[in-house]
Amino acid sequence: MISNVDIANVFEEMADLLELSGENTFRIRAYRNGAKAIRDHSESIAGLIDSGTDLTTIEGIGATLAEKSEVLVKTGKLPQLDTLRLEVPPTLRDIMQVPGVGAKKAMKMFQELGVSDLVSLRAACESGLVASLKGFGQKTQQSILQNMQIAEKAAQRLMIDQADYLVERLRKHMQECTSVQQLDFAGSYRRGKETIGDLDLLVISRDVNSVMDHFAAFPLIQEIIQRGDTKMSVRVTDSFQVDLRVVAEESWGAALQYFTGSKEHNVRIRGMAKAKGMKINEYGVFDASDETKVLAGSNERDIYALVGMPWVPPEMREDRGEFDPAVQIRFDSLIQLSDIKGDLHMHTTATDGENSIEEMAAAARARGLEYIAITDHSKRVSMARGLDEKRLLAQWAEIDAINHRSDGLFVILKGIECDILEDGRMDLSEECLAQADWVTASIHYGQKQPREQITQRILGAIENRHVDAISHPTGRLISRRDAYDVDLAAVITSAKVHGKFLELNANPSRLDLNDVNTISAIAAGVMIAINTDAHSIANLDLMKYGITQARRAGVVPNQVLNTLTLSELKKRLAISNNQ
């Protein structure tokens, strides 16, 4: 069954090829809006079509895109796209990604020079052909060559933890500048996206030059792209772009709101302001009939109040439900790191972890947790020295002994990350699993099996009476491995029916469930468990990334299993108090 991402990708390609062919902007925008609506939708579009649901009831999908979605789902292809591909080489889309090129220039180089991909673009630039084109010239040609290198490197977005590292270094550096009154980071970083394309740094200061001079001295800067009156753009290690904007104190809130985005969220906000006779930009909120009259600007919350909305947590500013009053009532109660009482997925030196059971327990307790589950790999994961039943039972006996020596205020649960084998069986016997406090099932092998087979393996695990949860349910590794082809809607439905839990794996390389799938799970009434999958003491601090992902999905504490206290968890999992 075709996924939402697959459908969205087709419409994105349609939009790009239509732009290259000179189609009108309204039609192009319709495809881009439809692609976003489908990509962000929490339910399977294919499933909705099969059930006869009218897709035009989904905001952003008109009659034309609804019809084309149905064709895609039923046939697996789109005739209009095939025709466009014959007229416009799809590889021109790569050329459009080079900064400063765009659709018009890409098409002109294709029509006049036969440039159809990045390889031929580089050759045309290096031979001087691009400079000979009317409207281009030597300067444009040199810029394209330079930006090709930048585009190739910049395509590798920073993972959220990598962005965190850069942000903290920048924050420390900028705080050393006495001219900085206040600073914050906006953009996709502030919204908590799992990968970051660039950084937006906002600063309040009365001495712009002093701030920019200090920023320019940041050790990781490789190139200063531009320096204007209030904005400075640089490239740091690996060609990653950082934009500094120095703003006035009276515009701080407006600038923070504007540059946080997302673009789609801000379009909605500006539309709401216009309907109320106001104009919003990065400098403030103004009376549309008299723009000298400033209505707000210094405080971000005032911006939202003026358009009749509560302040929106940055993680939810994606035009993905935050304008719904039923969602807005959750804004003040979104999950926070302090709500987490335990961690139900981690590994020790018994398999591929770096620390012992007692070391992991001590570190978790020091972080204020009440419980952990030790979930080393089962034997199928031989590369990690997975546990057979004999070794696992010995580990559980060790956990019992540790718990017996403790004061009872912190408990280690006897757990296992049990592999779901390629034929659907569990990697350990029923008799063994019955002795566990917590069993989380996962797939590590056979990830390229057909959709139905993968789905049936997971459904079988959910139906197993000893299995409590499914770990990293789609198996993706961000920017390294796509999710396996699984009917997640069926998995979510089964988890609800059988009272099982789905994991939101907090490791920044996984963040699986992703935000859209988490929305689907909680909408269906399935409780999630946010776990670190820690392989070391330091990994326990990855929990914050899972929290951010959950906030992007609008999750509140009572939708997360490990916000329960120890006594509540024992009751929920029917664990004996003889720990």
Using pLDDT thresholds of 50, 70 and 90, give the confidence band for residue 449.
very high
Using pLDDT thresholds of 50, 70 and 90, give the confidence band for residue 170.
very high
Give residue-wise pLDDT tens across range 240-250. 899 999 999 99
Give residue-wise pLDDT tens across range 389-433. 999 999 999 999 999 999 989 999 999 999 999 999 999 999 999
- What CATH number is given for 337-573 in this structure? 3.20.20.140
Start-end of CATH 1.10.150.110 domains in the chain? 4-154
Task: In whole angstroms, give the CA distance from residue 505 to residue 529.
Answer: 8
Buried b (16+ CB within 10 A) or exposed e, 459-468: bbbbebebbb
**Does residue 576 carry a pLDDT above 80?**
no
Using pLDDT thresholds of 50, 70 and 90, give the confidence band for residue 388.
very high
**Does residue 480 carry a pLDDT above 90?**
no
Using pLDDT thresholds of 50, 70 and 90, give the confidence band for residue 364.
very high
Quick one: average pLDDT of 329-344? Answer: 97
417, two tokens:
């990350």
Helices 118-126 and 102-113 cross at an angle (nearest 10°) of 70
Instruction: For residue 252, give every residue at least 6 positions away whose Cβ sits within 8 Å of its Cβ, in sequence order, or none.
Output: 182, 202, 204, 297, 298, 299, 300
Average pLDDT, the chain: 93
Quick one: average pLDDT of 127-142? Answer: 92
Using pLDDT thresholds of 50, 70 and 90, give the confidence band for residue 579.
low
Task: In whole angstroms, give the CA distance from residue 14 to residue 520.
Answer: 27
Please give the pLDDT value at position 153. Answer: 60
Please give the pLDDT value at position 149. Answer: 73
**Does residue 573 carry a pLDDT above 90?**
yes
Is the pLDDT higher at 119 or at 502?
502
- By CB neighbour count within 10 A (0-12 exposed, 13-18 middle, 19+ buried), where does 346 fall? buried
Task: In whole angstroms, give the CA distance from residue 533 to residue 375.
Answer: 9
Q: In Å, what is the CA distance from 423 to each residue of 75, 243, 426, 461, 468? A: 30, 51, 9, 11, 20
Please give the pLDDT value at position 574. Answer: 87
Please give the pLDDT value at position 222. Answer: 84
Please give the pLDDT value at position 59. Answer: 87
Give residue-wise pLDDT tens across range 460-477. 999 999 999 999 999 999
**Does residue 578 carry a pLDDT above 60?**
no
Task: In whole angstroms, give the CA distance from residue 225 to residue 233.
Answer: 5
Please give the pLDDT value at position 311. Answer: 98
**Does residue 293 carry a pLDDT above 90?**
yes
- What CATH number is given for 251-333 in this structure? 3.30.210.10
Give residue-wise pLDDT tens across range 175-191. 999 999 999 999 999 99
Please give the pLDDT value at position 155. Answer: 58
Q: Check if the beta carbon of residue 54 is closer than 8 Å to that of residue 66.
A: yes
Please give the pLDDT value at position 427. Answer: 96
Using pLDDT thresholds of 50, 70 and 90, give the confidence band for residue 151.
low
Start-end of CATH 3.30.210.10 domains in the chain? 251-333
Using pLDDT thresholds of 50, 70 and 90, give the confidence band for residue 157.
confident
Start-end of CATH 3.30.460.10 domains in the chain? 158-247
Give residue-wise pLDDT tens across range 64-108. 999 999 999 999 889 999 899 888 888 888 888 888 888 899 999
pTM of the model: 0.87
Q: Check if the beta carbon of residue 341 is closer than 8 Å to that of residue 565.
A: yes
**Does residue 516 carry a pLDDT above 70?**
yes
Give residue-wise pLDDT tens across range 298-328. 999 999 999 999 999 999 999 999 999 999 9
Superfamily for domain range 4-154: DNA polymerase beta, N-terminal domain-like (1.10.150.110)
Q: Check if the beta carbon of residue 100 is closer than 8 Å to that of residue 144.
A: yes
Please give the pLDDT value at position 431. Answer: 97
Please give the pLDDT value at position 540. Answer: 97
Please give the pLDDT value at position 210. Answer: 97
Q: In Å, what is the CA distance from 384 to each residue of 55, 178, 425, 444? A: 46, 51, 20, 11
**Does residue 211 carry a pLDDT above 80?**
yes
Please give the pLDDT value at position 156. Answer: 66
Please give the pLDDT value at position 514. Answer: 96
- What is the fold, at CATH topology level, of the domain defined by 158-247? Beta Polymerase; domain 2 (3.30.460)
